[in-house]
Amino acid sequence: MYISRFILFLVFFFSQAFPSLASDQSIDQAKIFDWWDDGLVTAEEASELLDMIQDGNFEEACLLSQALALETCAEKKTAKKPSRKTPSLTPEGYVSWTARMDSLGHLERQFTDVNIRFYRYSLHLGSFSQLAYKNDGSEAYFGQIATRELHSQIPTDTLWGTALSYPIGAFHIQGVLDTSLRWQGALGFNPARNVTVSAFYWDGFRTPRALASGGVQLKSPWMEMAGWYQRGQDLPLLKLRLHQKTTAKPAGENIPKSPDGKPPQFSWQTTAYFHGTDIPEIARLSPTLLKDQFTGTQQVTATFPALWNSRLSANARVSIPIETDSLGNSSQQAVSLKGRLKVSAESGPSLLRGMFSWTCLEAESHCPDNDLRAKVSSQYFQQFTLEGAIKSRLTRGEGFSIPQSQVYVTYHPASKIKARMVLQFPKGLPQKNTLIRTETSIGTSHIQSEMVVTFRRLQHQKFHPVHGIIQLKWLF
């Protein structure tokens, strides 16, 4: 049984002639609310994605959104400041306040964060507390440390402790000690530029070898691969990510280019997780990934700037659930493969642009249920974008369901100023069930604010809030 599942895992890994997508749209809170209101993610899944963004873990949020909603995004990129030979002695940073509201309009959760950077030091207080020091490849962290500080490709729990990393030529060594007296030692090697191979080992002083675990990692410009095994567990935890973005190179003059000279572009990305009934104690995976022994996403996109910036994309997810018996205990049963597929296309000038998508919800059953969505947008009016969408489910033998319709109005007078209103009729009957979501984003060089709130009106009831989030940030 294990052999067959492992073979399937390897086939998925090394059959990536079918590439996958990496979109240029970064994930943010408003996008998660879009998916939530559209039914693509549940309340628990949306909360998990929002937590990842709050912690600054945009990469894992993107990977999870691809598995949950078959939506594409790219890790949020921050503008790189010019490098300085001598670090600035002028303190800079930000103070932010974030609040989430429940269906009664009350504060459900709130976070206050303070981030200060000075010389080679940085201090963060709030949702996590940490003092960091960086200097020519050397790193030291004190306080709460997690995936980024541990340089782990597999997400980890947040630990209270210290982490040190020091380069020695083409090698670098790392040591970690937390308040539970768990420790880690790691050794990395750079055989080529932008290529890193590392090995790590976890253990504890209180219970030596009881929870011993170790693993290896490989990172290159187009591939990230990691394996982690803890003593006594049935299978290791494995993760693979392949990605690349290419531009068509002209062979003569046959490849069309846009007026600004941009040739066609192709992007792909593949991500896969594989694990047994348990994972290493320090590792942390989303509940969605934990319930499946294997989860893989494949995405491909092709963009043609010369043809009204037309775009074709395909997203797929394959998973193998961990079988459980009647008592909820894991059991080893036959492989049950589940799959979901989404294909979308969009084209047209900014005056009138159209998009169509088809989603097969159960590919393993030959697609008995399919979601169809059509959308048109127009930027005819300066600083305004008008959009309309309709979505319906096609069930084999039953036909189309009552359509869900949406209307979007966006006002964007400047790059950091945007107001958006979404009107949604989930059941096609405005008098019985209506959703209105308002989004406001205002920013300057020193102040940024964002508010997203969804209101619902049911028959014979007034509009009331369903969920929302408010964020204020002051930069200095």
Q: Report the pLDDT value the prediction gives residue 251, as an integer from 0 to 100.
A: 54
Residues 347 and 377 sit within 8 Å (Cβ to Cβ): no
200 DSSP assignment: E
Q: What is the mean pLDDT of residues 437-459?
A: 89
Q: Are strands 237-247 and 433-443 parallel, antiparallel or unpaired?
A: unpaired
pLDDT at 142 over 70: yes
User: Is the pLDDT at 80 greater than 70, yes or no?
Assistant: no
DSSP strand E in 76-150: where? 92-101, 107-118, 121-125, 130-135, 138-145
Residue 7's pLDDT band (cuts 50, 70, 90): very low
Distance CA 232, CA 188 (A): 26
Q: How many whole angstroms separate alpha carbon 259 and alpha carbon 140?
A: 49
Per-residue pLDDT tens for 259-318? 666 789 999 999 999 999 999 999 999 888 898 999 999 999 999 998 999 999 999 999
How many CA atoms within 13 Å lie on the side-chain side of 180?
A: 15
Per-residue pLDDT of 24-76, as tens digits, reads: 457 888 888 888 888 888 888 888 888 888 877 888 888 888 888 888 776 55
Could you tell me the pTM of the whole model?
Answer: 0.83
What pLDDT, on a 0 to 100 scale, did the predictor assign at position 54?
82
Residue 87 confidence (pLDDT): 80
Tens of pLDDT, residue by residue over 342-356, are 999 999 999 999 999
The pLDDT assigned to 14 comes to 38
- Using alpha carbons, list the distances in angstroms from residue 370 to 312, 373, 436: 19, 10, 26
Would you state the pLDDT for residue 257? 61
Options 2.40.160, 3.30.310, 2.60.40, 1.10.3470; CATH of 2-78+90-127+233-475 = 2.40.160
d(CA 65, CA 44): 13
Q: What confidence score (pLDDT) does residue 2 get?
A: 44
CA distances from 339 to 127, 348, 362, 387 (A): 36, 31, 6, 31
CA 26, distance to chain mean position in Å, is 9
pLDDT of residue 346: 96
Condensed to tens digits (0 to 9), the pLDDT of residues 223-268 reads 999 999 999 899 999 999 999 888 876 555 566 665 666 789 999 9
The DSSP H or E segment spanning 241 is: strand 237-247
Q: For residues 196 and 202, what is the distance between their CA atoms, to the nearest angstrom?
A: 20
User: What are the distances in angstroms from CA 194 to CA 65, 222, 224, 293?
Assistant: 27, 10, 12, 31
Query: What is the structure's pLDDT at 348?
Result: 94
- d(CA 299, CA 23) in angstroms, rounded, equals 9
Q: What percentage of the chain reaches a pLDDT higher than 70?
A: 85
d(CA 415, CA 281): 44
Euclidean distance between CA atoms 449 and 30, whole angstroms: 13
Tokens of 397: 């033998």
Q: What is the pLDDT of residue 431?
A: 63
Closest-CA residue to 2 (of 229, 281, 10): 10
Q: What is the pLDDT of residue 426?
A: 73
What is the rounded average pLDDT for all residues in the chain? 85
Instruction: Using the predicted structure, report yes or no on whether residue 15 has a pLDDT greater than 80.
Output: no
Q: Average pLDDT, stretch 74-79? A: 57
The pLDDT of residue 149? 92
What single-letter amino acid sits at 340? R
User: Nearest CA to 438 among 423, 458, 459?
Assistant: 423
Q: Please report which confidence band the pLDDT of residue 127 belongs to, taking 50, 70 and 90 as the band edges.
A: confident
